[in-house]
């Protein structure tokens, strides 16, 4: 057999092996799949080496050793991603696909305003056909990222589930789609509904890195009460693991882990104290300040709460001079102290 023929045969073998493992994992119960946990690195390597229409999923504990944070919760069933949080009234979904998750949100939260974003035209049409008559659902034919721009998407996988602009190993039809800035979209939703979205759900084959980094830089991580996502391994994200660990540091600092499940799914519930503080002051961090504040490696001690308050307030001042920022920081510090006193009295 010619070398070229051997290469083709080898590639086909890898593809079939990866597909077989994926099939097994998707059709096993949580208890039955325990023996497959050790194959995560193997099937990821197979998928990356052979090329796939869907991005491999990252393991839950990729950053645990680096951050010194470990999940004590048992692994949940994948359906846990539909539970969200009780009483959610505004839901922001990144990656609508054909509406599997969206249908569950509508059923479980019938009064909620749901904003779903799907850039692939064929998938957008499926969503509008299914849910276009529901006045509580708004579907936009855009992807979500860290800026407004056009980009090339590879459309592949079952029902387009592998569609991505960050998965460089994917194969499928290539199309041009429009991306929107996550910060701008979240701001528009807040303006339309009069509140910060209760939930941000992200399943977008690798766009989670740009979306969550942008949310951290602009202060939304620390304001949105519940964030859930599926982590993917993609070649189009520069320094992927460091980006993930930086994002997870912010999540651990401001959120409590709510669940983790197969296929890279994690849920994060906002720490109550941080939620009320940020809602009260309505702060949106500037990019420069949050880069220094939340991505620094040095640990904050409990006695530094006053300095933290000043840091948040200084971030809100984008246009003032340094003197004005100092004055406003002092005034806001007094407001925070006054609020703390009121809380203590209560």
Tens of pLDDT along 190-249?
Answer: 999 999 999 999 999 889 999 999 999 999 999 999 999 999 998 778 899 999 999 999
- The CA distance from 151 to 301, in Å, is 43
Return the higher-pLDDT residue of 111 and 334: 111
**Percentage of the chain surpassing pLDDT 90?**
52
- The CA distance from 14 to 2, in Å, is 19
Of 103, 84, 287, 81, nearest to 203 (Cα)? 81
Per CATH, the number for 64-277 is 3.40.50.150
Tens of pLDDT along 45-85?
Answer: 333 333 445 678 889 999 999 999 999 999 999 999 999 99
Tens of pLDDT along 133-156?
Answer: 999 999 999 999 999 999 987 776
| Cα Rg of the chain (Å, integer) | 22
pLDDT score recorded for residue 156: 65
What mean pLDDT comes out for the span 246-271? 97
Residue recorded with tokens 């193997």: 42
DSSP H or E run through 326: helix 322-345
pLDDT score recorded for residue 158: 57
pLDDT score recorded for residue 346: 40
Hey, where are the domains in the chain? 3-50, 64-277, 305-346
DSSP H or E run through 272: helix 272-281
Indicate yes or no: pTM above 0.85: no
Return the higher-pLDDT residue of 159 and 290: 159
Enumerate residues 6+ apart whose C-beta is below 8 A from 123.
Answer: 96, 97, 98, 159, 160, 163
Strands 143-145 and 173-181: parallel
Question: pLDDT at residue 113 above 80?
Answer: yes
CB of 193 closer than 8 Å to CB of 230: no
């Amino acid at each position: 057999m010619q070398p070229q023929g051997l290469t083709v045969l080898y590639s086909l073998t890898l593809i079939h092996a990866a597909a077989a493992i994926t099939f097994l994992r998707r059709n096993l119960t949580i208890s039955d799949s325990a023996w497959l946990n050790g194959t995560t690195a193997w099937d990821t390597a197979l998928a990356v080496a052979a090329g796939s229409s869907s991005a491999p999923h990252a393991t839950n504990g990729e950053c645990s050793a680096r951050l010194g944070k470990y999940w004590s919760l048992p692994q949940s069933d994948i359906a846990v991603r539909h539970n969200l949080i009780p009483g959610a009234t505004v839901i922001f979904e990144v990656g609508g696909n054909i509406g599997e998750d969206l249908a569950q949100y509508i059923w479980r939260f019938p009064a909620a305003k749901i904003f779903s974003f799907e850039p692939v035209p064929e998938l957008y049409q499926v969503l509008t056909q299914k849910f276009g008559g529901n006045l509580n659902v708004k579907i936009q034919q855009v992807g979500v990222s860290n800026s407004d721009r056009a980009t090339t998407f590879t459309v592949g996988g079952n029902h387009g589930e592998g569609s991505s602009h960050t998965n460089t190993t994917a194969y499928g039809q290539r199309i041009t789609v429009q991306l929107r800035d996550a910060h701008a979209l979240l701001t528009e939703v807040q303006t339309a509904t009069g509140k910060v979205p209760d939930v941000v759900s992200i399943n977008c084959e690798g766009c989670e890195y740009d979306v969550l980094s942008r949310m951290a830089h602009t202060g939304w991580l620390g304001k949105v009460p519940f964030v859930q996502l599926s982590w993917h391994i993609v070649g189009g994200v520069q320094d992927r693991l460091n980006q993930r660990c930086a994002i997870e540091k912010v999540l651990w600092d401001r959120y409590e882990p709510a669940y983790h499940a197969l296929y890279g799914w994690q849920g994060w519930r906002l720490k109550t104290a941080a939620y009320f503080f940020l809602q009260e002051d309505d702060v949106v961090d500037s990019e420069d300040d949050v880069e220094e504040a939340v991505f620094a490696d040095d640990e904050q001690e409990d006695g530094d709460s006053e300095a933290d308050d000043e840091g948040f307030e200084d971030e809100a001042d984008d246009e003032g001079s340094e003197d004005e920022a100092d004055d406003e920081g002092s005034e806001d510090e007094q407001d925070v102290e006054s609020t703390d006193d009121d809380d203590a009295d209560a």
